[in-house]
Chains A and B, each alone.
Chain A
């Protein structure tokens, strides 16, 4: 049978950035799929080798620009391990608040854009209303809406006041019923279900073997969450569940994220209730020079297990930094699971992984 080669991307509304997929089709069925990445490769790992640790935090914002707080956090945790810094409790709690709000904001983008991928435009407008409120909170906090540079070595950059906290509580109260609204709008919409429920199935063993993480791994029924397995920033003191899917379909991955937003609300509420008084930051030298050594720290970022491996040779810049980027590793499975699928399902499957090309290419 004749085959046809189709280029999906690099500029395509459904690839969420500059991603190219080379698809070989036999009729409507895909016989070969080759994801082509690297269009956004800026070499941040190399750039950091000639920058001080404080300057590196700025670069971390540029990986997963839809949820930059966990990037800041992963880098700082790793550098703090090297330096042996103890972060004060108020900063720990603020870090948790910001990362969880960022998880909500990031999952909201996913909900909106995934709806558009499947053909539902309306939810996009609703989720951006809510996301805007989180961005406003961030803007009041640190002046930035996208690349925050808020979590710094040793602590955080600025404090929250009573006004900020009450606005945040207001948002949470406003947001809770909205999640139910998304369920009626999108999650249980029959057309949406038909497009996603039986599509893009990933078995538990395949998900583990391909190294998936975050909601993509949990959608396949593997209950693995860094916040539970290796708690950081005092996550062991919070009461929350880790939602898992059943079959590993696109819908399971989608619905994991919806449920995670509810859990994030719970965590933020608990954190605000027990926000301790005290210092915002530990004492860290302006240009820190960690003693020679190696450290690895990872966090449950919005898109999965984000790990930072840092090597210091005693200098002012990291000798080597490696980013375990969840989006990069999540994307690799596409070449395997798209084979044998209909071309119409490519967008549904690709969208369900919630990739950010800034992190795929770094």
Chain B
């Protein structure tokens, strides 16, 4: 992974406050220090290092294990078995995991010519999750940022059309946040 470490070195040189992060397994990963660094890093990747392919935009909510209150997960009995259905699996906090009220945003860029890939990540507070939009540089950011907005409530400043994309209009809240509680609607059975 010599090419990968070159990319990381270039990024760290341009952004003194950024740091090499614990890698997403086997891929070079850089942690940005502030939202303002994102556009700088993306421009550097796209214009000078050949990473013209925005592969993925997503987020991780580090609040803690998924809240099971309101989680629709009915146990599924086996009609051929006398045993009762196994109860749904309720996630428990993992020991030694640093749960904290942040959204960990993640971008992955690809260099199609040299088959390189690099991950950028950035932590933002859950209640003020706002980062610049990459739609000006990569058209692929359009729907993927809308998805992160819809499911996580991240605001992408400068996005031309930041509206819901996957969830229905009546749904309140952001389902992939760990504290999301499903409110009963017309489609629930009971």
Contacts and interface: CB of A to CB of B under 8 A. Distances in A.
Given A211-B138, A336-B139, A224 B25 contact: no
Interface of A: 37-38, 41, 43, 45-47, 49-52, 55, 81-82, 206, 208-211, 222, 224, 229-230, 292-296, 305, 307, 309, 311, 313-317, 319-320, 322, 324, 328-329, 331-333, 336, 361-362
B139 A50 contact: no
Interface stretch (B7-15, B37-45, B122-130, B161-169): B161-169
Chain A interface SS verdict (over half): mixed
Contacts of B89: 50-52, 55, 316-317
B61 A320 contact: yes
26 contacts: A37-B165, A38-B168, A41-B166, A41-B168, A45-B176, A50-B66, A50-B71, A51-B73, A51-B88, A51-B89, A209-B138, A210-B139, A211-B144, A230-B115, A294-B24, A295-B25, A307-B56, A309-B58, A309-B106, A315-B91, A320-B61, A324-B56, A328-B147, A329-B140, A329-B144, A336-B139
Given A38-B168, A49-B91, A52-B89, A296 B112 contact: no
A211 B139 contact: yes
Contacts of A222: 112
B73 A47 contact: yes
Contacts of A55: 89
A305 B166 contact: no
Contacts of B176: 45-46, 320
Contacts of A361: 166
Chain B interface SS verdict (over half): loop
For the complex of A and B, 3 pairs with smallest distance between CB atoms: A211-B140, A314-B94, A313-B94
Given A230-B115, A309-B58, A37 B166 contact: yes
A328 B150 CA distance: 14
A328 B93 CA distance: 32
Contacts of B1: none
A307 B55 contact: yes
Contact of A296 (B24, B90, B93, B94): B24
B54 interface: yes
Contact of A292 (B90, B94, B147): B94
A38 B163 CA distance: 13
Nearest to A38: B166
Nearest to A41: B166
Contacts of A292: 94, 96-97
B68 interface: yes
Contacts of A319: 60, 65, 91, 94
Contacts of A324: 55-56
B95 A208 contact: no
A329 B143 contact: yes
A187 to B, nearest CB: 27
Contacts of B53: 208, 211
A344 B156 CA distance: 35
A161 B25 CA distance: 36
A309 B27 CA distance: 12
A209 B94 contact: no
B186 to A, nearest CB: 15
Contacts of B106: 309, 322
B142 interface: yes
A296 B27 contact: yes
A111 to B, nearest CB: 27
